[in-house]
Amino acid sequence: MTVPAADPPVPTAAALIVAAGRGIRAGGEIPKQYRMLEGDAVLTRTLRAFAGHPAIGQIVVVRHAEDADLFAAARPDTRQPLVDVIGGDSRDASVRAGLAAVDDAMDYVLIHDAARPLVSPDVIDGVLDALACHNGAAPALPVTDALWRGASMVSGTQDRTGLWRAQTPQGFRLGPIRAAHAAHQGGAADDVEVARAFGLEVAITPGSEDNLKITAPDDFARAARLVKGQQMDIRTGNGFDVHRFGPGDHVMLCGLAIPHTRGLQGHSDADVGLHTVTDAIYGALAAGDIGTHFPPSDPQWKGVASHVFLTHAVEMAGERGFAITHADLTLICEQPRIGPHAGAMRAELARILRIGADRVSVKATTSERLGFTGREEGIAALATVTLVAP
Ligand SMILES: Nc1ccn([C@@H]2O[C@H](COP(=O)(O)OP(=O)(O)OP(=O)(O)O)[C@@H](O)[C@H]2O)c(=O)n1
Ligand SMILES: C[C@](O)(CO)[C@H](O)COP(=O)(O)O
């Protein structure tokens, strides 16, 4: 009997979150890591960022002795064991306290500031990937602004080549960083400094502008803007509709009467363009389709102008907090020719959608005389719309 080879064990990392500082520079009545950021404490967001990562097997939070109640209120439920320990008077003393509480079974430890709540999975992944071949790895961003020396007056400039803005999480193999901190006298700016003083090599991994450290009072407003940006609800909806030709001397397309040798048949005015955009908006809202809101069996919609349907969809989007940011409509027919009317159709569609014409596209194509549109039995239409709730 062949026994299948077992998968190699997945390396496991502890997240060590230092949260014992007083946040003096940020001000406020309580330390910054416990202040609310768009409905959640900063520390809650930081802990969730690590708790949600599949490689994290343990979470150690280093807190101040006086913050027991604040910590209890901010602590989220996590699938991993979460322990809290009391920190020291400096960041590196707090890290040492945390390292002592990391489970020996962990391969790596990711040391992270509680004050960086917007760390992304990509930043964490970058550090973990680099740890497969290095003792240490940490995210950073290259310095892009010019650097000066001076106080109120510029006294000199500093070459920025090879300079980086350090971020966290700073990740290490557990044994080497414990040894490095045990050998360090204290006073380091970060754990990379401690690691390098011990002779460990540290790889630079991609940082992110969003991974800001809340330090000064204004940083709360910036972090709130970023959280709102991450929460933005962007939706795309598509629509498709077909109407067959029948007797008549014009077709209604995008609210305009276009002269033609035949008309379009339908319960309403059969404006296939407006119907398709209407369905795309309902689709983005997950609100059914045009037939849900205006059943063809209902006589009150007989012969009605189709801008009534589209206006309903536009208003429904607004009531649900969405702005329509774009609509793209393609009409598929051999005749009538759409090109001469596309500009006017676009303007009328934009008017009904209540957005600028630069956000609306009306295009047309033939189907190369193939299929029902090619045989001039009717007109088909496709539409895509984008809705954004800030
Ligand atoms: N004795 C300390 C000092 C800092 N930290 C933590 O280290 C991180 C980065 O430090 P910093 O932003 O400087 O925080 P504070 O020391 O709280 O800020 P301040 O210097 O303004 O008081 C923070 O999450 C902070 O809680 C810590 O655990 N123990
Ligand atoms: C570790 C650190 O976040 C790296 O940028 C930073 O050094 C800690 O914060 P501080 O403001 O320098 O104390």
DSSP 189-240: SSHHHHHHHTT--EEEEE--TTS----STHHHHHHHHHHHHHH-EEEEEEEE
- Encode pLDDT of 98-146 as tens digits: 999 999 999 999 999 999 999 999 999 999 999 999 999 999 999 999 9
CB-based pocket (< 6 A), ligand 1: 18-26, 33, 62, 87-91, 94, 113-115, 213, 215
Is 260's pLDDT higher than 60? yes
Asked if 84 and 76 touch (Cβ cutoff 8 Å), the reply is: no
Q: How many percent of the chain have pLDDT more than 90?
A: 93
Establish whether residue 112 lines the binding site of ligand 2, counting it when its CB lies within 6 angstroms of any ligand atom: no
| Cα dihedral value 37, 129, 192, 174, nearest 10 | 100
Decide which of 3.30.1330.50, 3.40.50.10140, 3.90.1300.10, 3.40.50.1100 is the CATH code for 233-389. Answer: 3.30.1330.50
Residue with the smallest CA separation from ligand 2 atom 12 is 189
Average pLDDT over residues 179-191: 96
Confidence of residue 303 (pLDDT cuts 50, 70, 90): confident
What is the third-level CATH fold of 13-231?
A: Spore Coat Polysaccharide Biosynthesis Protein SpsA; Chain A (3.90.550)
Is 1's pLDDT higher than 60? no
Residue with the smallest CA separation from ligand 1 atom 25 is 21
The full set of domain ranges for the chain reads: 13-231, 233-389
Is 11's pLDDT higher than 70? no
Establish whether residue 213 lines the binding site of ligand 2, counting it when its CB lies within 6 angstroms of any ligand atom: yes
What was the pLDDT predicted at 390? 76
Closest ligand relative to 33 C-alpha: 1
What was the pLDDT predicted at 205? 98
- Alpha-carbon distance of 352 to 310, in angstroms, equals 7
304 in a labelled binding site: no
Give the mean pLDDT of the chain. Answer: 96
What was the pLDDT predicted at 229? 83
Among candidate residues 312, 267, 305, the one with its CA nearest the CA of residue 289: 312
368 in a labelled binding site: yes
Is 9's pLDDT higher than 90? no
CB burial of residue 8 (10 Å; 0-12, 13-18, 19+): exposed
Domains 13-231 and 233-389 in one fold: no
More confident residue, 341 or 1: 341
Is 10's pLDDT higher than 80? no
What was the pLDDT predicted at 288? 96
What was the pLDDT predicted at 2? 60
What was the pLDDT predicted at 4? 65
DSSP 322: P
What was the pLDDT predicted at 231? 78
40 in a labelled binding site: no
What was the pLDDT predicted at 258? 97
pTM score of the predicted model: 0.72
